A and B are shown apart, each in its own frame.
Chain A
Amino acid sequence: MSTAPSPAPPGGPAPADPRSGDAPAVTPTVRRLLRRTRLWIAVVAAVLVVATVWALTVNGSRGTDALGADNPGPSGGMALAQVLSGQGVDVITAASLDEVRQAATAPEQTTILLFDSGSLLSADRLGRLGELADRLVVIAPNIDVLDAYAPSVTFSGATDAGAPLSPECSLPAATRAGAVTPGRSTFRPAEGGAAGALFCYPDDSGSFQLARTDSGRTAVTLLADSEPFDNEHIASDGNAALALNLLGEREHLIWYLPTFLDLADAGAGGQPSLAQLTPEWVTPVLVLFLAVFLAAALWRGRRLGPLVVEDLPVIVRSRETMEGRARLYQRSSARRRALDALRIGSIGRLASTLGLARTASVEDVVRASAAATGRPADEVRELLLDADPGSDAALVDLSDRLLTLEADVRTAVDPRSTHPRRPERMDS
């Protein structure tokens, strides 16, 4: 950025109407900002475009639901749905009972495929579903479905049959399809009510893979397991043929996988939802508050120019080395070393208080101090030379005694006292 205030503005995209003497701006103009960031803007735009196109074409609206008509994965049902629509069947996907109701305009021309893996449908809704078509194929039904449509059918245990099972029943769709791969779940006739249903694909233990019953005018076909009909297994044995026979009988097929939409709305006559109870003005006012919050954030958050940087000086306290040495003494319990330092200081002060020469020996100081204070020389020597502190308490005690000795000597040689000695004052 050129900082010199030149009479001619720098070439290029400077201010629209430059005047001589204007201070050079550091903040880029909007135009220059756009120009500088155009590469990034182009990159972001290109990424967005590519991502959108890819999402719309290559991936489509790829679903992830088990047995979903738009799920091309191993557990999906896209293969079956594609073949059915290739055969001229109008496949309509539905995610809630309302959608099924809207799609099922002609019940006699409609098959409904129901795969409720999450057990989201209530018994009430199941009952209403039966009225919408005269063919209902339920894959992997739960106990509610059996209660609603096939009281004569009940669950049997899991089977471990691995080999394809042959139909061995009179259902035309099954006999035409031939043997199919067995799933793990199975049916068996309910106690005392076997007459109402037709069972196909028995295994060795007397469990069945398919049950057919009539509920009112609706023919209900129950398939015990979804696995034989997913993308991975549909091509094995007669699985595809059975599914096509069952689902392709009518012109319209409603592929109904219940979702949470079936839970959310209790429908007409049910309890009013929270959204219905909320007054209409609440949402706009909340959005308005959000806008106020954003504006206030912009108001308070916008800086008046960039931050100013400044180098600060180092701060070194001169006592740091002294404190560090004190902690080292303490941590290593260097009592004698510490006491020696204190003694050297005391001896120096005593010598200058007593007016001794700079070259005086410790013995001289001991003798002079003892004479001045009237203490025994041995006691003073013990304090100034010999005592070896065995504990921290002893160290503190000795240090206090050193101070006391210094104070005593000072008092003894004080010119205001009556003591005969009167040393001249010395400055260290």
Chain B
Amino acid sequence: MAVTGRFVLLVLLGIVPVLGFSIASDAGGWALLGWLLLVCGIGLLDLAAAASPRHVALERDLPGRVRLGETTAARLLVTNTGRRLLHGLVRDAWQPSAGSARSRVPMTIPPGERRAADFSLTPLRRGERRTEQVTIRSLGPLGLWARQATLSSPAAIRVLPPFTSRRHLPSRLARLRELDGRTSVMIRGQGTEFDSLREYVRGDDVRSIDWRATARHGGARAGQEVMVRTWRPERDRRVVLVLDSGRTSAARVADEPRLDTAFEATLLLAALATRAGDRVDMIAFDRRVRARVQGATGADLLSRMVDAMAPLEPDLIETDWAAVPAQVRGITSQRSLVVLLTSIDASGMSRGLLSVLPQLTRSHVVVVASVTDPEVLATTRERGDRESVYRAAAAERALLDTGRVAAAVRRLGGDVVTGAPADLPPALADRYLALKAAGRL
């Protein structure tokens, strides 16, 4: 049950009879009582004539998935299965972070008909955004009193990571294509593969001339047609991405959790590597596997990865690094590129990582990617007063710690990529390209 502003005005209108009877015949009290009974009676009649908010069928037309930062239309279809005209308000109870532009919609639905209510959603956070209930307030024909009921109608949309770093993808793909067809002078390495033979052009390394092929081609007669071998980057290598979803990944750098930056870097690297013909697998791990994508290729890979990442939140527990080598072994025993997306802020927190790194570097190429806070570097230069000097000292100390851990990682055979949240994804992609160009995979 609910009343409307119109009913309040109607009650207030009682001042006319109350004053009139008071002045005319000293019967103001009776006039008041009569008026209140009258308006309540009209209200009850109105309530009795209102359509039932329970005789309603609900359907939803939802996109299912939406990228963070994009707006999508969530349509609610309301069918009036009762016998009366349903006139009133409909509220779809989306969670606040689903970013519903308006929560209530006025609707008029004749009996047996269906109407749509459009709610545009701009989610504010990644993950599953839900609605459980729809509340319908059905006004009486006079619009004084209303019947109200909450109907259960659960639904959810999955909000995917934004993948803003995909703007770096075209330039990296171009660089990847440049790697194709180069001669050995530029990229000679143990891992590069023979691609094809072509005629010598000026500038090619004479060492890559294939004399046997030249002879077979009959170039000796022509005198000029010397064949050279060309090389292409190796293909079908394995890339294993390990995301640390433990407590250090909850820290926010530039108002973005480390984990979300790791998602961006992971998605860019995965998009690049799958185009380069490598096989990409991903796990998110703290003390157990929180998300896993294995054996997917091409467009399917990215869609499965964002799907797996969407509901992932950092857990406030210490990551169990000792279990990571076994997880990597479980994915592949082949030599592969293992990318650990974690933080290397302090030696105490990175001890677990450093202790298992030798096991990984023995059989794999390991890259440790970590987000650094650009503000820390800025803080070291602010030395106006006593407080800022102490803060600068603490910042220098933090940088020193990071540098020490990075040095330790390098000493153990790993590679380190650090960068601010905006810079880490392209930096990691560049490191991948460099490794590929050097044929180290």
Binding site for B on A (CB under 8 A): 1, 3, 15, 17, 19, 21-27, 29, 279-281, 283-285, 287-288, 291-292, 295-296, 298-299, 302, 304-306, 308, 310, 312-323, 325-327, 329-330, 337-339, 341-342, 344-345, 348, 392, 395-396, 399-400, 403
Set of chain B residues within 8 Å of A296, measured between Cβ atoms = 5, 8
Count of CB-CB pairs between chains A and B under 8 Å: 210
B79 is an interface residue with CB less than 8 A from chain A? yes
Give Cα distance in the complex from A279 to B252, angstroms: 69
Set of chain B residues within 8 Å of A318, measured between Cβ atoms = 251-253, 258, 345, 373
Give Cα distance in the complex from A279 to B151, angstroms: 52
Set of chain B residues within 8 Å of A330, measured between Cβ atoms = 386-387, 390
B81 is an interface residue with CB less than 8 A from chain A? yes
Q: Is the CB of A396 within 8 A of B389?
A: yes
Q: Which 9 residue pairs spanning A and B have beta carbons closest together?
A: A305-B135, A281-B22, A338-B393, A284-B28, A326-B394, A345-B396, A318-B251, A23-B151, A326-B391
Q: Is the CB of B32 within 8 A of A304?
A: no
Give Cα distance in the complex from A50 to B155, angstroms: 51
B95 is an interface residue with CB less than 8 A from chain A? yes
Give Cα distance in the complex from A329 to B399, angstroms: 16
Q: Is the CB of B394 within 8 A of A341?
A: yes
Q: Please judge, given known A-B contacts A285-B18, A298-B2, whether A316 and B251 are in contact too, CB under 8 Å.
A: yes
Q: Please judge, given known A-B contacts A284-B22, A304-B89, whether A23 and B28 are in contact too, CB under 8 Å.
A: no
Q: Is the CB of A326 within 8 A of B390?
A: yes
Q: Please judge, given known A-B contacts A15-B52, A26-B133, A288-B15, whether A310 and B97 are in contact too, CB under 8 Å.
A: yes
Given contacts A285-B19, A313-B314, A342-B393, 20 further A-B contacts (CB under 8 A): A3-B152, A21-B57, A21-B81, A280-B22, A280-B28, A288-B32, A295-B11, A304-B89, A304-B104, A304-B148, A305-B93, A305-B133, A310-B95, A314-B316, A319-B373, A322-B376, A322-B379, A396-B383, A399-B383, A399-B392
A sample of 12 inter-chain contacts (CB < 8 A) reads A23-B58, A284-B18, A288-B12, A292-B8, A302-B1, A315-B252, A317-B252, A322-B379, A326-B390, A326-B391, A326-B393, A399-B383
Q: Please judge, given known A-B contacts A23-B153, A330-B387, whether A316 and B250 are in contact too, CB under 8 Å.
A: yes
Give Cα distance in the complex from A410 to B394, angstroms: 24
For the complex formed, measure the closest distance between the CB of A293 and the CB atoms of chain B, giving whole angstroms.
Answer: 9
B31 is an interface residue with CB less than 8 A from chain A? yes
Set of chain B residues within 8 Å of A288, measured between Cβ atoms = 11-12, 14-15, 18, 32, 35
Number of interface residues of B (CB under 8 A): 86
- Measured CB to CB, the nearest residue on chain B to A304 is B91
- Measured CB to CB, the nearest residue on chain B to A428 is B403
- Measured CB to CB, the nearest residue on chain B to A398 is B389
- Residue from B56, B95, B131 in contact with A23 in the complex, judged by beta carbons closer than 8 Å: B56
For the complex formed, measure the closest distance between the CB of B79 and the CB atoms of chain A, giving whole angstroms.
Answer: 7
- Measured CB to CB, the nearest residue on chain A to B373 is A318
Set of chain B residues within 8 Å of A396, measured between Cβ atoms = 383, 385-386, 389
Set of chain A residues within 8 Å of B91, measured between Cβ atoms = 304-305
Set of chain A residues within 8 Å of B379, measured between Cβ atoms = 322
Q: Is the CB of A25 within 8 A of B397?
A: no
B96 is an interface residue with CB less than 8 A from chain A? yes
Q: Is the CB of A308 within 8 A of B28?
A: no
Set of chain B residues within 8 Å of A283, measured between Cβ atoms = 28-29
Q: Is the CB of B390 within 8 A of A329?
A: yes
Set of chain A residues within 8 Å of B56, measured between Cβ atoms = 22-23
For the complex formed, measure the closest distance between the CB of A366 and the CB atoms of chain B, giving whole angstroms.
Answer: 19
- Residue from A17, A308, A325, A400 in contact with B94 in the complex, judged by beta carbons closer than 8 Å: A308
Q: Is the CB of A308 within 8 A of B389?
A: no
